[in-house]
């Protein structure tokens, strides 16, 4: 492939043979474009942006960023919290409530406290998505990496998007911004449908939001999200090793299944849980709970799961002091 002209983001290619996709990718520089100093109140269509909290004192109690869809194939927004330090939520032991006074809202997530190292996926619906910080205290630090992810189009659309080759040359100038939006996708980063967090490494540590080692911080109320771990051809089992686990529970000594996730809703009942489907305890395969709550998992305990590699966390609207969350190490592996 021979690049012969570049004008305002438009590239023209000449080739004696096929126009190879790899050649286009090599010339496709705009996909990695990013804003390094995206400011409160600004709007962008760039694929990747880096957001820092304002260097100077906050002049307003709100800070909003608007991400506009880069192409019609953008389907997810990946937000990585390199640094995320907001005020801790306030708790009330009389009313049993937890409130995020300072908060970050994106999609259906409302978060506060310390979430450095976490990430979330937001379905990209409509033409834009808004990331909003509400900061009555005007004291916060953040460093976010935000990336628009494209889902692959149908194969027929890919073929339709390729221009004809006449005598080894492209008939018309190619507007790569439009062409690439048709068949460039982010397969390594795209989360499966329904996943709010997606871990792509074969091993790692999964923590609940606002979890801090050795400190009794608390996860948010009314939080429901699904955690997914990437599946590979060789791994058909996953091993979870508990480092810390503490949720609320309705009963003082029952921490599994119906005790955590009752079939009949009762107003005021404690119903926080972590669901691990198709799981059993490593030291006793006959014990196969799906829902865990309270102190149902202890440090060092190992749970084995099978495909699909997912967990689902749910917290109710109440708060109790034992709701400090979880830290669980995972490792995918081939079943014995």
- 156 with 217, same domain: the answer is no
The distance of Cα 153 from the centroid of its chain, to the nearest Å, equals 22
User: What percent of the chain stands above pLDDT 70?
Assistant: 78
- 158 with 278, same domain: the answer is no
Q: What is the pLDDT of residues 82-132, one digit of tens each?
A: 999 999 999 998 999 999 999 999 999 999 999 999 999 999 999 999 999
- Residue 239 and residue 330 in contact, taking contact as beta carbons nearer than 8 Å: yes
pLDDT value at 156 more than 60 = no
- How many residues does this entry show for the chain? 336
Residue range 143-171: mean pLDDT, rounded: 67
Domain end marker among 131, 165, 183: 183
Residue range 210-235: mean pLDDT, rounded: 96
Residue range 210-234: mean pLDDT, rounded: 96
Model pLDDT, residue 191: 97
- 166 with 268, same domain: the answer is no
- 236 with 200, same domain: the answer is yes
- Cα–Cα distances (Å) from 153 to 45, 158, 162, 186, in that order, read 20, 7, 13, 12
- Cα–Cα distances (Å) from 24 to 48, 60, 204, in that order, read 20, 45, 35
User: Which of these, 288, 267, 269, lies nearest to 277 by C-alpha position?
Assistant: 288
pTM here? 0.83
Domain that holds residue 18: 2-31+152-183
Q: What is the pLDDT of residues 166-221, one digit of tens each?
A: 444 444 444 455 545 444 568 999 999 999 999 999 999 999 999 999 999 999 99
Model pLDDT, residue 308: 96
Side-by-side strand order, sheet with 279-281: 203-207, 325-333, 237-246, 302-306, 279-281
């Amino acid at each position: 492939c021979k690049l012969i002209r570049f004008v305002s983001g438009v590239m023209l290619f000449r080739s004696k043979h096929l126009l190879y996709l790899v050649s286009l990718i090599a010339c496709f520089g705009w996909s990695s474009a990013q804003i390094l100093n995206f400011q409160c109140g600004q709007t962008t269509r760039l694929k990747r942006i880096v957001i820092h909290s304002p260097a100077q004192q906050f002049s307003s109690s709100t800070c909003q960023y608007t991400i506009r869809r880069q192409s019609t194939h953008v389907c997810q927004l990946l937000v990585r919290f390199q640094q995320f330090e907001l005020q801790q939520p306030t708790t009330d032991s009389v009313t049993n409530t937890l409130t995020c006074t300072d908060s970050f809202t994106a999609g259906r997530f409302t978060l506060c406290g310390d979430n450095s190292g976490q990430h979330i996926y937001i379905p990209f619906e409509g033409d834009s998505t808004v990331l909003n910080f509400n900061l009555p205290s005007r004291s916060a630090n953040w460093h976010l990496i935000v990336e628009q992810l494209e889902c692959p189009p149908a194969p027929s659309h890919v073929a339709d998007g390729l221009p004809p080759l006449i005598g080894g040359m492209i008939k018309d100038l190619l507007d790569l911004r439009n062409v690439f939006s048709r068949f460039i996708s982010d397969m390594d980063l795209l989360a499966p449908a329904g996943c709010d967090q997606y871990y792509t490494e074969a091993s790692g540590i999964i923590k609940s939001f606002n979890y801090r080692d050795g400190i009794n911080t608390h996860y948010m109320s009314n939080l429901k999200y699904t955690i997914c771990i990437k599946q590979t051809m060789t791994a058909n089992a996953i091993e979870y090793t508990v480092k810390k686990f503490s949720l609320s529970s309705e009963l003082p000594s029952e921490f599994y299944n119906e005790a955590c996730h009752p079939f009949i809703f009762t107003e005021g009942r404690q119903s926080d849980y972590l669901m691990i489907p198709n799981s059993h305890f490593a030291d006793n395969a006959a014990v196969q709970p799906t829902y865990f709550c309270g102190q149902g998992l202890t440090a060092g305990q190992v749970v084995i799961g099978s495909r699909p590699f997912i967990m689902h966390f749910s917290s109710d609207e109440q708060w109790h002091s034992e709701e400090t969350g979880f830290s669980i190490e995972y490792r995918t592996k081939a079943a014995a």
